[in-house]
Amino acid sequence: MQRVHQPPVLQQVPVPLPAERHVLIAVEACGVCRTDLHIIDGELDRPKLPLILGHQIVGRVALNGPDASRFSEGALVGVSWLAHVDGTCRYCRAGEENLCDHARFTGYDVDGGYAEYALAHEDFAIALPAGFEPRESAPLMCAGLIGFRSLRMTADAERIGMYGFGAAAHIIAQVARHQGRLVYAFTRPGDEEGMRFAREQGAVWAGGSDQAAPDELDAAIIFAPVGALVPVALRAVRKGGVVVCGGIHMSDIPTFPYRLLWGERRLRSVANLTRDDAAEFFREVERAPVRTHVTTYALKDANSALADVRSGTINGSAVLLPGLRAADR
């Protein structure tokens, strides 16, 4: 359970019962996301309280609520950040449900997956192939999905810079490589281990964010929540290129000279995701040889996982396993 500005506290709570068209999911894995830290730190400042964090959920349907018929019990499903939309606002009607005026989000407006059980509306649960391994699939539910939406915003860019090579970038670099693109990875300055990891994931070049890429970039994606990287990335992309900000929260962007934006360079943000994103992404994942790199933690060690995500000491993703015992790790 979570109260804003306080670390999560492990508590016993009743198993929730699914309402109309909802399913109860026995959680097998839940990814730990930097967004969870933004909620804890009050940077996303309107969560329901008390709150169970977690929006990268993989598990099996344990119980169908009234009128829920999409999944059979035991089906493997995923749950992402988008929990519900109204379906009637101007954005939903335009196919932009990620911008819905009344959207609700998992682990923010509704309880999430830092638990043994979680609820989800059946229309917003993602059917997963039976062969998907939960601990490896959990990071796909947000890091993968948001990263994929960010990648799509680069259109047909060939040379792509990725600033912040963590959970999202290590997945999307593999997708981009499968698509025949060239990935240039930017890590914390001096992070030799991070640079090595990026090259292992297919980056043709890896260096610190204080370094210039050896080639002019067609596009850049900023995964690190650092506003100061915006002018850095604009400086790295060619005329007509695009810089995509892939996080839900970012520190303030400093002022920068107009010449960095001039030349029809574009600056875009990514807001949430759609169910169509999920369908397209998982089709791509089944074609591309994507392998997630995860560090696993028992549910009781959620604060350790969050601390490791905050410090950037993990290569890849942190994943909570509710059934994990200390001896299994």
Domain of 198: which CATH number?
3.40.50.720
Q: How many domains does the chain have?
A: 2
Q: Strands 182-187, 159-163: parallel, antiparallel or unpaired by DSSP?
A: parallel
Q: Are residues 30 and 118 in the same domain?
A: yes
- Give the separation between CA 49 and CA 270, rounded to whole angstroms: 26
In a domain, 183, yes or no: yes
Does residue 51 belong to any structural domain of this protein? yes
Instruction: State the CATH number of the domain containing residue 32.
Output: 3.90.180.10
Pair 30, 70 in one domain: yes
| Same domain as 264, residue 153 | yes
State phi, psi for 23 to the nearest 5 degrees.
-125, 145
Residues 34 and 135 reside in one and the same domain:
yes
The two counts, helices (H) then strands (E), for the chain are 9, 15
Q: Which amino acid is at 326?
A: A
Domain membership of residue 287 (yes or no) is: no
Report the alpha-carbon angle 299-302-305, nearest 5: 125
Based on the fold, state whether residues 167 and 257 are members of the same structural domain: yes
One domain for residues 213 and 243: yes
State whether 113 and 178 are in the same domain: no
pTM of the model: 0.93
What range does the domain containing 304 cover? Answer: 22-141+293-328
Tokens of 87: 């379906």
Q: What is the pLDDT along the chain (329 residues), one digit of tens a residue?
A: 444 567 899 999 999 999 999 999 999 999 999 999 999 999 998 999 999 999 999 999 999 999 999 999 999 999 999 999 999 999 999 999 999 999 999 999 999 999 999 999 999 999 998 789 999 999 999 999 999 999 999 999 999 999 999 999 999 999 999 999 999 999 999 999 999 999 999 999 999 999 999 999 999 999 999 999 999 999 999 999 999 999 999 999 999 999 999 999 999 999 999 999 999 999 999 888 899 999 999 999 999 999 999 998 899 999 999 986 543 44
Same domain, 125 and 105: yes
SS3 label, residue 82: strand
Q: Is residue 240 part of a domain?
A: yes
Asked if 197 and 153 sit in the same domain, the reply is: yes
3-state secondary structure (DSSP) of residue 43: coil
- Distance (Å, whole) CA 290 – CA 176: 10
DSSP letter at 114 equals: S
Query: 220 to each of 25, 176, 194, 233, 241, how far by Cα in Å?
Result: 37, 12, 18, 6, 8
Residue 15 lies in a domain: no
Report if residue 274 sits inside a domain.
no
